[in-house]
Structure 1
Amino acid sequence: MPVDPSTLAPGRRASYYASNLALRGIIGALGLIPYDKRIPAMGWVMRKVAPLVGFHKRVRDNLALTCPELPERDVKQLCDEVSDNVGRVVAELYAGQPFLERAWAAPVSGPGLPALERARAEGRPVILVTGHFGNYDAARANLIKRGFAMGALYRRMANPYFNDHYVRAIEKTGKPMFEQGKRGMMEMVRHLKQGGIIAIVADLHAHGGVNIDFFGEPAVTSIVPAELALKYKAAMIPVYAIRQPNGLDFEIVVQEEIAPSDPITMTTTVCKRLEELVRQHMGQWFWVHRRWKPYVPIPKPTPTEQRSDKT
């Protein structure tokens, strides 16, 4: 469950409350603008805000680490493109029906679509892995509309005030939703056992994950989706929504099913394929994330500590 605001330090609570009001105010004001103007308007707002909140610095740091050969003009352009896409995603998240209609109308292609349809016909569970690319919710909305009833695993927002209406917004795309954590994992596993489909955004730094190269640098990555696929004999299929040149429409790409082998090999394949896609559309991936944070393993207790725990 989200953190109870009353347990936060007064300064942090005030900061979260103020930022929540500000963002909701922007979203509410933009909601008065027609959809085809609203989405690019939010992209413009985010481009202006991004340097002030550290987004451009994060993008520059990540690109300096992974793509040091990029000339300054390309880096500057990507700072704007990434911020614009993030702004559009936020506006689309709260747009409701107009966004869903755009997502539903998106064409679907890719070698994984027959495998997805076959799994549904056989009642076989499916794990759809995606990333913070384009608008990941567009793919979920499209496939739900096509009859692929699915649940989705999400990570709650640190801001407890914002988290409440964030969850209500993403639930409009489809249910059930499983919050990352012990309870959410249990509910998600139950859904899988019943032959269900789940969607997991799998490109964030994951505590307890393993280092897997992404853009040539080790990035701590969860192998849980692959472990679940192997344990429950689920089809593991990557799917992404590519934003089109008009900035409003999408193409849904269902990549080839990941061949079952071992969790690290399967997860490495997911990362390689996502990297290939991102290199084709660099401005559509969320370079604002701290994807390459250093790996800090949880220390194992010494034998002396283990004995003291038992006494």
Structure 2
Amino acid sequence: MDFLLYWTVRIIIGGISMLPLDLVARIGRALGAIAYTLDARHRKVALNNLTAAFQGERTEAEIRALARENFKRLGENYCCAIKTAFMSEAAVAERLETVGVEPLAPYAARGQNLVVAIGHFGNFELYARANFKVGEYTFATTYRALRQPALTRLMQELRSKSHCVFFERRTDADALKTAMNKGRVMIGLLSDQHAGRSGVWVPFFGRSCSTSTAPAVLALRYDARLFSAICYRTKLAHWRIEVGPEIALHTADGEPRKTADVMSEVNAHLEAAVRRDPANWFWVHKRWKPPEKRQLLSVAADERV
């Protein structure tokens, strides 16, 4: 079964890689429209999330239109992520612009690491392809292996073309530590999904949600600078990655800020990006899962402090 799955998906990927990017994007949008019609479970999640986030700001018709466009964008993003993995740096540069990377150069000269809080915005696989814009750094990120080893292997084969270093979250902790200790690493960490028991509960669209502490923890541990970055879709098969202002890790007195405060600021940056282009985000994920009983006690204790 693993063998069959691997070669089926590989043939599909091979077919996509041979098509023009604009055509790939249109095919992806068509597939997304079909998914919106057929995938009732994820359609319901997206509609519920959008309704809760924009209660009183958008009509029901606007919410449905946003959800439909969101599915089309997701189809476009996934198909384009496959195609762009096979494209040269020069070809990617024609489709991807970057904003805000120039201020990062002085940190490389000092050998300082950068932690970048990113999210599932636009063609988010392009974060790994933007390394030619900041050549002094080794680009890195983390991932979680899929349940199907064949798909994980295929995914990593695609990602290896980016020259970005990928660390598996559960098995590559030592390798990540070694890389961070060497310096000049720019690591992007997806920070916009439910983090379960290990997360800190901070607001996102006015509702508390479990949020990964990794950006704040890694930045403080390795004396790195912390930023956020968003991949915006500017038009069909064109994107712009914008690096936001630096997020402070210490108070005016030089004391480390609380992890919850840092991640609240990260969430504020991500929320602003969602509001700027709501269809650009990953609404099909259950971002606001309710806390478990012991998490409720922890949240209540934090609120009393």
TM-score (norm 1): 0.82
Q: Distance in 1 between matches of 2:214 and 2:20?
A: 41
The residue aligned with 1:40 is 26
2:276 aligned with 1:280, yes or no?
yes
1:23 to partner: Cα distance:
5.7
Report Cα offsets for 1:208-233 as digits up to 9, x if no partner. 10111111111110112201111211
The residue aligned with 1:184 is 172
Matched residue pairs, number? 281
The residue aligned with 1:269 is 265
Q: Distance in 2 between matches of 1:23 and 1:68?
A: 40
1:177 to partner: Cα distance:
0.6
Query: Could you say what secondary structure the match of 1:107 adopts?
Result: strand
2:249 aligned with 1:249, yes or no?
no
1:171 to partner: Cα distance:
2.2
The residue aligned with 2:99 is 109
Residue identity over aligned pairs, in percent, reads 25
1:123 to partner: Cα distance:
0.3
Moved segments of 4+, more than 6 Å:
16-22
Q: Distance in 1 between matches of 2:227 and 2:133?
A: 18
Are 1:55 and 1:83, in contact at CA under 8 Å, matched by a contact in 2?
no
The residue aligned with 1:74 is 62
Unpaired runs of 5+ in structure 1? 1-13, 300-311
Unpaired runs of 5+ in structure 2? 250-256, 296-305
RMSD (CA atoms)? 2.4
1:90 to partner: Cα distance:
1.4
Are 1:30 and 1:42, in contact at CA under 8 Å, matched by a contact in 2?
no
2:222 aligned with 1:232, yes or no?
yes
Report Cα offsets for 1:152-187 as digits up to 9, x if no partner. 111222343322211221222223210111x32222
Report Cα offsets for 1:39-90 as digits up to 9, x if no partner. 2211211220233232211100111222222212211211222111211221
The residue aligned with 1:123 is 111
Are 1:47 and 1:84, in contact at CA under 8 Å, matched by a contact in 2?
yes
Are 1:191 and 1:197, in contact at CA under 8 Å, matched by a contact in 2?
no
TM-score (norm 2): 0.83
Q: 1:206 to 1:68 in 2, by over 3 A?
A: same
Are 1:51 and 1:57, in contact at CA under 8 Å, matched by a contact in 2?
no
Q: Distance in 1 between matches of 2:293 and 2:7?
A: 37
2:159 aligned with 1:173, yes or no?
no
Are 1:115 and 1:257, in contact at CA under 8 Å, matched by a contact in 2?
no
1:145 to partner: Cα distance:
4.6
The residue aligned with 1:64 is 51
What amino acid maps onto 1:108 in structure 2? T
Are 2:128 and 2:140, in contact at CA under 8 Å, matched by a contact in 1?
no
The residue aligned with 1:151 is 140
Matches within 5 A, 1:127-138: 127-138=115-126
